[in-house]
Amino acid sequence: MDKIAVLDLQRQYKQVGAEIEKRTLEVLRSGHYILGKNVSALEEGVAKLSGCAHGIGVANGTDALILALRACNVGPGDEVITTSFTFAATAEAIALCGAKPVFVDIDPKTFNIDPDLIAQAITAKTKAIIPVHLYGQPADMDKIMPIAHKHNLKVVEDNAQAIGALYKGRPTGSLGDVACISFYPTKNLGACGDAGMLVTVSADIADRLKLLRGHGMRVRYYHEEVGYNSRLDELQAVALLIKLPYLEGWNAQRRELASIYTEELSHCPGVVAPPVAPHTTPVWHQYTIRVLGKGMRDRLQTELAAQGIGSMCYYPVPLHLQAAFSYLGHRAGDLPATESAADQVLSLPMYPELTAGEVKRVCAATTAIIRTASAVPAGAGQAG
Ligand SMILES: *Cc1c(COP(=O)(O)O)cnc(C)c1O
Protein backbone atom coordinates (compact mmCIF):
# COMPACT_ATOMS: atom_id res chain seq x y z
CA MET A 1 0.00 0.00 0.00
CA ASP A 2 1.16 3.53 -0.73
CA LYS A 3 2.25 5.63 2.19
CA ILE A 4 0.12 8.55 3.34
CA ALA A 5 2.34 11.35 4.61
CA VAL A 6 1.09 13.68 7.32
CA LEU A 7 1.93 16.50 4.88
CA ASP A 8 3.11 16.32 1.26
CA LEU A 9 4.25 19.66 -0.15
CA GLN A 10 5.40 18.14 -3.43
CA ARG A 11 1.79 17.53 -4.45
CA GLN A 12 1.04 21.25 -4.23
CA TYR A 13 4.25 22.13 -6.02
CA LYS A 14 3.09 20.07 -9.01
CA GLN A 15 0.15 22.47 -9.32
CA VAL A 16 2.01 25.78 -8.99
CA GLY A 17 5.68 24.89 -9.54
CA ALA A 18 5.99 25.83 -13.23
CA GLU A 19 4.60 29.33 -12.58
CA ILE A 20 6.78 29.80 -9.49
CA GLU A 21 9.91 28.80 -11.41
CA LYS A 22 9.10 31.21 -14.24
CA ARG A 23 8.35 34.18 -12.00
CA THR A 24 11.27 33.40 -9.66
CA LEU A 25 13.62 33.64 -12.60
CA GLU A 26 12.15 37.04 -13.47
CA VAL A 27 12.81 38.27 -9.92
CA LEU A 28 16.35 36.87 -9.97
CA ARG A 29 17.06 38.69 -13.23
CA SER A 30 15.41 41.94 -12.06
CA GLY A 31 18.10 42.75 -9.50
CA HIS A 32 15.41 43.95 -7.03
CA TYR A 33 15.27 41.53 -4.12
CA ILE A 34 13.76 43.10 -1.00
CA LEU A 35 10.48 45.01 -0.39
CA GLY A 36 9.58 45.52 -4.03
CA LYS A 37 6.45 45.35 -6.15
CA ASN A 38 5.74 41.69 -5.37
CA VAL A 39 5.87 42.38 -1.62
CA SER A 40 3.53 45.36 -2.06
CA ALA A 41 1.07 43.32 -4.13
CA LEU A 42 1.16 40.52 -1.56
CA GLU A 43 0.61 42.97 1.32
CA GLU A 44 -2.41 44.35 -0.47
CA GLY A 45 -3.83 40.91 -1.30
CA VAL A 46 -3.39 39.43 2.17
CA ALA A 47 -4.74 42.57 3.88
CA LYS A 48 -7.85 42.43 1.69
CA LEU A 49 -8.39 38.73 2.37
CA SER A 50 -8.04 39.48 6.10
CA GLY A 51 -10.56 42.32 6.02
CA CYS A 52 -7.82 44.83 6.92
CA ALA A 53 -6.63 48.08 5.37
CA HIS A 54 -2.94 47.40 5.98
CA GLY A 55 -0.51 44.53 5.39
CA ILE A 56 3.13 44.67 6.48
CA GLY A 57 5.41 41.93 5.15
CA VAL A 58 8.10 40.67 7.54
CA ALA A 59 10.70 37.91 7.68
CA ASN A 60 8.60 35.27 9.50
CA GLY A 61 5.62 34.76 11.79
CA THR A 62 7.67 34.91 14.98
CA ASP A 63 9.02 38.34 14.06
CA ALA A 64 5.44 39.38 13.26
CA LEU A 65 4.47 38.56 16.86
CA ILE A 66 7.45 40.42 18.31
CA LEU A 67 6.80 43.49 16.15
CA ALA A 68 3.07 43.43 16.97
CA LEU A 69 3.81 43.46 20.70
CA ARG A 70 6.39 46.22 20.27
CA ALA A 71 3.89 48.26 18.25
CA CYS A 72 1.45 47.84 21.15
CA ASN A 73 4.19 49.20 23.45
CA VAL A 74 4.65 45.93 25.34
CA GLY A 75 7.98 45.91 27.16
CA PRO A 76 9.83 44.94 30.33
CA GLY A 77 7.60 44.65 33.40
CA ASP A 78 4.43 44.06 31.37
CA GLU A 79 2.32 40.92 31.34
CA VAL A 80 0.68 39.38 28.27
CA ILE A 81 -2.08 36.81 28.59
CA THR A 82 -2.03 33.87 26.18
CA THR A 83 -2.50 30.13 25.86
CA SER A 84 0.03 27.48 26.82
CA PHE A 85 -1.31 25.15 24.13
CA THR A 86 0.39 26.69 21.09
CA PHE A 87 3.67 26.73 19.22
CA ALA A 88 6.50 28.16 21.32
CA ALA A 89 6.78 31.31 19.17
CA THR A 90 3.65 32.82 20.74
CA ALA A 91 5.21 32.95 24.20
CA GLU A 92 8.78 33.46 22.96
CA ALA A 93 7.68 36.73 21.38
CA ILE A 94 6.32 37.92 24.73
CA ALA A 95 9.53 36.94 26.54
CA LEU A 96 11.73 38.49 23.84
CA CYS A 97 9.95 41.82 24.37
CA GLY A 98 10.96 41.57 28.03
CA ALA A 99 7.39 40.88 29.16
CA LYS A 100 5.98 37.95 31.12
CA PRO A 101 3.75 35.35 29.45
CA VAL A 102 0.69 34.64 31.61
CA PHE A 103 -0.88 31.36 30.60
CA VAL A 104 -4.61 30.76 30.76
CA ASP A 105 -6.19 27.32 30.32
CA ILE A 106 -8.01 26.26 27.14
CA ASP A 107 -11.58 25.40 26.27
CA PRO A 108 -11.31 21.61 25.90
CA LYS A 109 -13.71 21.61 22.92
CA THR A 110 -11.90 24.11 20.70
CA PHE A 111 -8.33 23.84 22.09
CA ASN A 112 -8.32 27.68 22.14
CA ILE A 113 -7.91 30.03 25.12
CA ASP A 114 -10.93 29.85 27.45
CA PRO A 115 -12.34 33.39 27.47
CA ASP A 116 -14.08 32.80 30.80
CA LEU A 117 -10.68 32.42 32.51
CA ILE A 118 -9.09 35.60 31.13
CA ALA A 119 -10.57 38.18 33.54
CA GLN A 120 -9.12 36.48 36.63
CA ALA A 121 -5.63 36.52 35.06
CA ILE A 122 -5.62 40.29 34.53
CA THR A 123 -3.41 42.38 36.85
CA ALA A 124 -2.28 46.01 36.88
CA LYS A 125 0.65 44.93 34.70
CA THR A 126 -1.40 43.28 31.95
CA LYS A 127 -0.89 45.04 28.61
CA ALA A 128 -2.21 42.66 25.95
CA ILE A 129 -3.88 39.35 25.11
CA ILE A 130 -2.71 36.97 22.36
CA PRO A 131 -5.45 34.55 21.35
CA VAL A 132 -4.21 31.83 18.96
CA HIS A 133 -6.57 30.47 16.32
CA LEU A 134 -5.14 27.00 16.81
CA TYR A 135 -5.38 24.36 14.07
CA GLY A 136 -7.28 26.91 11.93
CA GLN A 137 -10.21 27.19 14.36
CA PRO A 138 -11.05 30.80 15.36
CA ALA A 139 -10.86 31.68 19.05
CA ASP A 140 -14.02 33.07 20.66
CA MET A 141 -13.25 36.72 19.87
CA ASP A 142 -16.68 38.13 20.78
CA LYS A 143 -15.99 37.13 24.37
CA ILE A 144 -12.34 38.22 24.32
CA MET A 145 -12.69 41.73 22.85
CA PRO A 146 -15.12 43.16 25.46
CA ILE A 147 -12.75 42.01 28.26
CA ALA A 148 -9.86 43.71 26.46
CA HIS A 149 -11.81 46.94 25.96
CA LYS A 150 -12.96 47.00 29.58
CA HIS A 151 -9.36 46.73 30.84
CA ASN A 152 -7.78 48.82 28.06
CA LEU A 153 -5.71 45.90 26.69
CA LYS A 154 -4.47 45.38 23.14
CA VAL A 155 -5.38 42.17 21.34
CA VAL A 156 -2.82 40.56 19.03
CA GLU A 157 -4.29 37.67 17.05
CA ASP A 158 -1.85 34.83 16.39
CA ASN A 159 -3.29 33.96 12.99
CA ALA A 160 -0.35 31.79 11.91
CA GLN A 161 -2.59 28.75 11.45
CA ALA A 162 -5.89 30.29 10.37
CA ILE A 163 -5.48 32.52 7.30
CA GLY A 164 -8.85 32.56 5.51
CA ALA A 165 -10.92 31.37 8.50
CA LEU A 166 -14.16 33.15 9.39
CA TYR A 167 -15.62 34.03 12.78
CA LYS A 168 -19.28 35.04 12.55
CA GLY A 169 -18.68 35.91 8.90
CA ARG A 170 -15.61 38.07 9.60
CA PRO A 171 -12.07 37.01 8.66
CA THR A 172 -9.63 36.13 11.43
CA GLY A 173 -6.99 38.83 11.48
CA SER A 174 -9.59 41.62 11.43
CA LEU A 175 -10.99 40.89 14.89
CA GLY A 176 -8.26 42.25 17.21
CA ASP A 177 -5.96 45.28 17.05
CA VAL A 178 -3.31 43.58 14.92
CA ALA A 179 -2.78 40.04 13.62
CA CYS A 180 0.28 37.92 12.81
CA ILE A 181 0.47 35.55 9.87
CA SER A 182 3.16 32.97 9.15
CA PHE A 183 3.96 31.76 5.65
CA TYR A 184 6.22 28.96 6.90
CA PRO A 185 6.09 26.29 4.17
CA THR A 186 3.73 23.98 6.09
CA LYS A 187 1.10 26.66 6.77
CA ASN A 188 -2.11 26.91 4.71
CA LEU A 189 -0.44 29.57 2.57
CA GLY A 190 3.20 28.55 2.56
CA ALA A 191 6.28 30.20 1.05
CA CYS A 192 9.37 28.41 -0.28
CA GLY A 193 11.20 29.45 2.88
CA ASP A 194 10.48 31.74 5.82
CA ALA A 195 8.07 34.66 5.47
CA GLY A 196 5.42 36.43 7.53
CA MET A 197 3.00 39.34 7.62
CA LEU A 198 1.07 41.61 9.94
CA VAL A 199 -2.39 42.88 9.14
CA THR A 200 -4.28 45.62 10.94
CA VAL A 201 -7.14 48.05 10.47
CA SER A 202 -5.18 50.73 12.35
CA ALA A 203 -3.13 53.22 10.30
CA ASP A 204 -1.15 54.13 13.42
CA ILE A 205 -0.13 50.55 14.19
CA ALA A 206 0.70 49.95 10.51
CA ASP A 207 2.95 53.01 10.47
CA ARG A 208 4.78 51.88 13.61
CA LEU A 209 5.21 48.36 12.21
CA LYS A 210 6.78 49.68 9.00
CA LEU A 211 9.19 51.65 11.11
CA LEU A 212 10.06 48.68 13.33
CA ARG A 213 10.64 46.17 10.52
CA GLY A 214 13.32 48.39 8.95
CA HIS A 215 15.65 49.62 11.70
CA GLY A 216 13.26 52.31 12.96
CA MET A 217 13.98 54.26 9.81
CA ARG A 218 11.49 56.38 7.88
CA VAL A 219 14.00 58.55 6.05
CA ARG A 220 17.06 56.53 5.03
CA TYR A 221 19.79 56.60 7.71
CA TYR A 222 17.67 58.61 10.13
CA HIS A 223 16.59 56.24 12.93
CA GLU A 224 13.60 57.24 15.05
CA GLU A 225 13.84 54.24 17.35
CA VAL A 226 15.70 50.96 17.77
CA GLY A 227 14.05 48.59 15.31
CA TYR A 228 14.71 45.26 13.64
CA ASN A 229 15.79 43.87 10.32
CA SER A 230 12.67 41.92 9.46
CA ARG A 231 11.89 42.53 5.82
CA LEU A 232 10.14 40.28 3.34
CA ASP A 233 11.98 39.43 0.14
CA GLU A 234 10.71 39.41 -3.42
CA LEU A 235 11.44 35.72 -4.05
CA GLN A 236 9.16 34.61 -1.21
CA ALA A 237 6.57 37.25 -2.08
CA VAL A 238 6.31 36.14 -5.70
CA ALA A 239 5.79 32.49 -4.73
CA LEU A 240 3.10 33.53 -2.24
CA LEU A 241 1.42 35.81 -4.79
CA ILE A 242 1.12 32.90 -7.20
CA LYS A 243 -0.41 30.71 -4.50
CA LEU A 244 -2.74 33.36 -3.05
CA PRO A 245 -5.59 32.93 -5.61
CA TYR A 246 -5.67 29.21 -4.82
CA LEU A 247 -6.03 29.64 -1.05
CA GLU A 248 -9.82 29.82 -0.90
CA GLY A 249 -10.18 26.64 -2.97
CA TRP A 250 -7.50 24.87 -0.96
CA ASN A 251 -9.22 25.79 2.30
CA ALA A 252 -12.55 24.58 0.90
CA GLN A 253 -10.89 21.29 0.02
CA ARG A 254 -9.57 20.99 3.60
CA ARG A 255 -13.14 21.52 4.87
CA GLU A 256 -14.41 18.80 2.58
CA LEU A 257 -11.74 16.36 3.83
CA ALA A 258 -12.45 17.34 7.46
CA SER A 259 -16.12 16.50 7.03
CA ILE A 260 -15.21 13.07 5.64
CA TYR A 261 -12.89 12.48 8.62
CA THR A 262 -15.58 13.50 11.11
CA GLU A 263 -18.22 11.35 9.45
CA GLU A 264 -15.97 8.27 9.19
CA LEU A 265 -14.61 8.61 12.74
CA SER A 266 -18.06 9.05 14.29
CA HIS A 267 -18.20 5.24 14.54
CA CYS A 268 -14.85 4.94 16.28
CA PRO A 269 -15.19 4.62 20.07
CA GLY A 270 -12.44 6.27 22.08
CA VAL A 271 -11.78 8.89 19.41
CA VAL A 272 -13.21 12.40 19.70
CA ALA A 273 -13.40 14.24 16.39
CA PRO A 274 -12.80 18.02 16.57
CA PRO A 275 -16.12 19.86 16.93
CA VAL A 276 -16.64 23.06 14.96
CA ALA A 277 -17.54 26.01 17.21
CA PRO A 278 -20.86 27.67 16.30
CA HIS A 279 -20.70 30.49 13.72
CA THR A 280 -17.13 29.68 12.68
CA THR A 281 -15.66 28.53 9.38
CA PRO A 282 -12.33 26.90 10.27
CA VAL A 283 -9.60 26.31 7.69
CA TRP A 284 -8.34 23.00 9.15
CA HIS A 285 -4.65 23.78 9.28
CA GLN A 286 -4.68 20.53 11.24
CA TYR A 287 -7.34 17.88 11.68
CA THR A 288 -6.75 16.97 15.31
CA ILE A 289 -8.50 14.18 17.17
CA ARG A 290 -8.42 13.30 20.83
CA VAL A 291 -7.55 9.70 21.60
CA LEU A 292 -8.99 8.65 24.96
CA GLY A 293 -7.38 6.10 27.27
CA LYS A 294 -3.94 6.10 28.85
CA GLY A 295 -1.16 5.62 26.32
CA MET A 296 -3.64 5.13 23.48
CA ARG A 297 -2.58 8.21 21.51
CA ASP A 298 1.04 7.09 21.33
CA ARG A 299 -0.01 3.55 20.51
CA LEU A 300 -2.26 4.74 17.67
CA GLN A 301 0.53 6.91 16.27
CA THR A 302 3.04 4.03 16.34
CA GLU A 303 0.65 1.56 14.73
CA LEU A 304 -0.46 4.02 12.04
CA ALA A 305 3.23 4.59 11.22
CA ALA A 306 3.70 0.81 10.88
CA GLN A 307 1.00 0.94 8.16
CA GLY A 308 2.72 3.82 6.37
CA ILE A 309 0.34 6.50 7.70
CA GLY A 310 1.91 9.66 9.12
CA SER A 311 0.52 11.66 12.03
CA MET A 312 1.83 14.36 14.36
CA CYS A 313 1.33 15.50 17.90
CA TYR A 314 0.88 19.28 18.12
CA TYR A 315 1.98 19.84 20.88
CA PRO A 316 3.23 17.12 23.22
CA VAL A 317 4.46 19.48 25.98
CA PRO A 318 2.48 22.62 26.81
CA LEU A 319 4.57 25.78 27.08
CA HIS A 320 4.12 26.24 30.85
CA LEU A 321 5.90 22.88 31.36
CA GLN A 322 8.75 23.53 28.90
CA ALA A 323 12.30 24.00 30.18
CA ALA A 324 12.44 27.34 28.34
CA PHE A 325 9.66 28.71 30.55
CA SER A 326 10.60 26.97 33.82
CA TYR A 327 11.55 30.41 35.21
CA LEU A 328 7.81 31.14 35.44
CA GLY A 329 7.58 28.49 38.16
CA HIS A 330 4.70 26.39 36.82
CA ARG A 331 4.11 22.77 37.73
CA ALA A 332 2.07 19.90 36.32
CA GLY A 333 -1.59 20.34 37.19
CA ASP A 334 -1.64 24.14 36.83
CA LEU A 335 -3.57 24.04 33.54
CA PRO A 336 -5.56 20.78 33.53
CA ALA A 337 -7.43 21.18 30.22
CA THR A 338 -4.20 22.10 28.42
CA GLU A 339 -2.30 19.19 29.93
CA SER A 340 -4.99 16.67 29.09
CA ALA A 341 -5.09 17.93 25.48
CA ALA A 342 -1.31 17.55 25.23
CA ASP A 343 -1.68 13.90 26.33
CA GLN A 344 -4.51 13.10 23.94
CA VAL A 345 -4.18 15.06 20.69
CA LEU A 346 -3.11 13.56 17.39
CA SER A 347 -3.19 15.37 14.06
CA LEU A 348 -4.01 13.18 11.07
CA PRO A 349 -2.85 13.80 7.47
CA MET A 350 -4.41 17.04 6.18
CA TYR A 351 -3.63 18.98 3.01
CA PRO A 352 -5.81 20.02 0.07
CA GLU A 353 -4.27 17.47 -2.30
CA LEU A 354 -5.12 14.52 -0.04
CA THR A 355 -7.83 12.34 -1.62
CA ALA A 356 -11.13 11.25 -0.06
CA GLY A 357 -9.94 7.66 -0.52
CA GLU A 358 -6.81 8.34 1.49
CA VAL A 359 -8.84 9.95 4.28
CA LYS A 360 -11.10 6.90 4.40
CA ARG A 361 -8.06 4.64 4.59
CA VAL A 362 -6.68 6.63 7.55
CA CYS A 363 -10.07 6.37 9.27
CA ALA A 364 -10.39 2.63 8.64
CA ALA A 365 -6.88 2.03 9.98
CA THR A 366 -7.55 4.24 13.02
CA THR A 367 -10.81 2.45 13.82
CA ALA A 368 -9.22 -1.00 13.47
CA ILE A 369 -6.25 -0.07 15.66
CA ILE A 370 -8.44 1.43 18.40
CA ARG A 371 -10.83 -1.57 18.37
CA THR A 372 -7.96 -4.05 18.71
CA ALA A 373 -6.23 -1.97 21.37
CA SER A 374 -9.41 -1.70 23.43
CA ALA A 375 -9.84 -5.47 23.29
CA VAL A 376 -6.20 -6.15 24.24
CA PRO A 377 -4.79 -3.41 26.51
CA ALA A 378 -1.18 -2.39 25.79
CA GLY A 379 1.30 -4.58 27.71
CA ALA A 380 -1.31 -7.27 28.53
CA GLY A 381 0.51 -9.79 26.34
CA GLN A 382 -1.07 -12.33 24.03
CA ALA A 383 -2.67 -15.41 25.54
CA GLY A 384 -0.69 -18.66 25.22
C1 LIG B 1 4.07 28.79 12.80
C2 LIG B 1 3.59 29.51 13.98
C3 LIG B 1 4.22 30.66 14.46
C4 LIG B 1 5.56 31.16 13.97
O5 LIG B 1 5.67 31.36 12.63
P6 LIG B 1 7.13 31.27 11.92
O7 LIG B 1 6.85 31.84 10.57
O8 LIG B 1 7.52 29.86 11.90
O9 LIG B 1 8.07 32.12 12.70
C10 LIG B 1 3.64 31.35 15.51
N11 LIG B 1 2.51 30.90 16.08
C12 LIG B 1 1.89 29.78 15.69
C13 LIG B 1 0.64 29.36 16.36
C14 LIG B 1 2.41 29.04 14.63
O15 LIG B 1 1.80 27.93 14.25
pLDDT tens digit string along 14-60? Answer: 999 999 999 999 999 999 999 999 999 999 999 999 999 999 999 99
Q: Which helix (H) or strand (E) holds 347?
A: strand 345-348
Compute the distance from residue 201 Cα to the ligand 1 centre, in Å: 21
Give yes or no for a cis peptide into 327 (omega within 30° of 0): no
Percentage of residues of the chain with pLDDT beyond 90: 96
The CA 94 to ligand 1 mean position distance, Å, reads: 13
Nearest of 333, 258, 244 to residue 288 by alpha carbon: 258
Q: Tell me, what's the pLDDT at 119?
A: 98
- Substitution candidate for ligand 1 out of 46, 66, 84, 90 with most atoms within 8 A of CB: 90
Q: Return the pLDDT at 382.
A: 47
Is the separation of the CB atoms in 14 and 351 below 8 Å? no
Query: Angle between the 61-71 and 203-213 helix axes, to the nearest 10 degrees?
Result: 120
pLDDT value at residue 380: 54
Q: Are strands 154-158 and 126-130 parallel, antiparallel or unpaired?
A: parallel
Cα–Cα dist 48/232, whole Å: 18
Residue 378 has a pLDDT of 53
pLDDT at 379 over 60: no
Three-state DSSP class for residue 292? coil
84 CB-near residues (< 8 Å, 6+ apart): 91, 103, 104, 105, 106, 318, 319, 320, 321, 335, 338
Sheet holding 166-167, edge to edge: 170-171, 166-167, 280-281
Strand partners, 113: 106
Q: State the average pLDDT for the chain.
A: 96
Atom of ligand 1 nearest to the CA of 86: 13
SS3 183: coil
pLDDT tens figures, 265-286:
998 999 999 999 989 999 999 9
Mean pLDDT calculated for residue range 314-321: 98
pLDDT in tens, 99-128: 999 999 999 999 999 999 999 999 999 999
CA of 243 to the centre of ligand 1 (A): 19
User: pTM for this structure?
Assistant: 0.96
- Does residue 375 carry a pLDDT above 90? no
Which pLDDT belongs to residue 377?
Answer: 58
pLDDT at 374: 87
Q: Output the CA 299–ligand 1 centroid distance in Å.
A: 28
Query: Where does residue 169 rank: exposed (0-12), middle (13-18), buried (19+ CB within 10 A)?
Result: exposed
For the ranges 233-242, 285-294, 314-323, 375-384, the lowest mean pLDDT is seen at 375-384
Q: Ligand 1 test: best mutation among 161, 186, 286, most atoms within 8 Å of CB?
A: 161
- Could you tell me what percent of the chain has a pLDDT over 70? 98
* Atom number of ligand 1 nearest to Cα 89: 10
**pLDDT, position 222:** 95
Q: What residues does ligand 1 touch, defined as CB less than 6 Å away?
A: 60-62, 86-87, 89-90, 132, 158, 160-161, 182, 184, 194, 196
The pLDDT of residue 306: 98
Residue 357: pLDDT over 90: yes
Nearest CA to ligand 1 atom 10: 89
Closest by CA to 242, choosing from 8, 53, 16, is 16
Q: What is the C-alpha separation between 132 and 172, in angstroms, rounded?
A: 10
Read off the amino acid at residue 36. G
Q: Mean pLDDT throughout 354-367? A: 98
- Among candidates 342, 344, 338, 308, which has minimal Cα distance to 108? 338
Residue 48 makes CB contacts below 8 A (sequence gap 6+) with none
How would DSSP label each residue in 69-102?
HHHTT--TT-EEEEESSS-THHHHHHHHTT-EEE
Distance 134 CA to ligand 1 centre (A): 11
Position in ligand 1 atom list of the atom nearest CA 182 = 7
DSSP code of residue 310: -
On whether the CB atoms of residues 82 and 100 are closer than 8 A, the answer is no
CA 17 to chain centre: 24
From atom 14 of ligand 1, which residue's Cα is the shortest distance away? 160
Cβ-Cβ contacts under 8 Å for 379 (sequence gap 6 or more)? none
pLDDT of residue 268: 93
The residue whose CA is least distant from atom 5 of ligand 1 is: 61
Answer yes or no: are the C-beta atoms of 131 and 147 closer than 8 Å: no
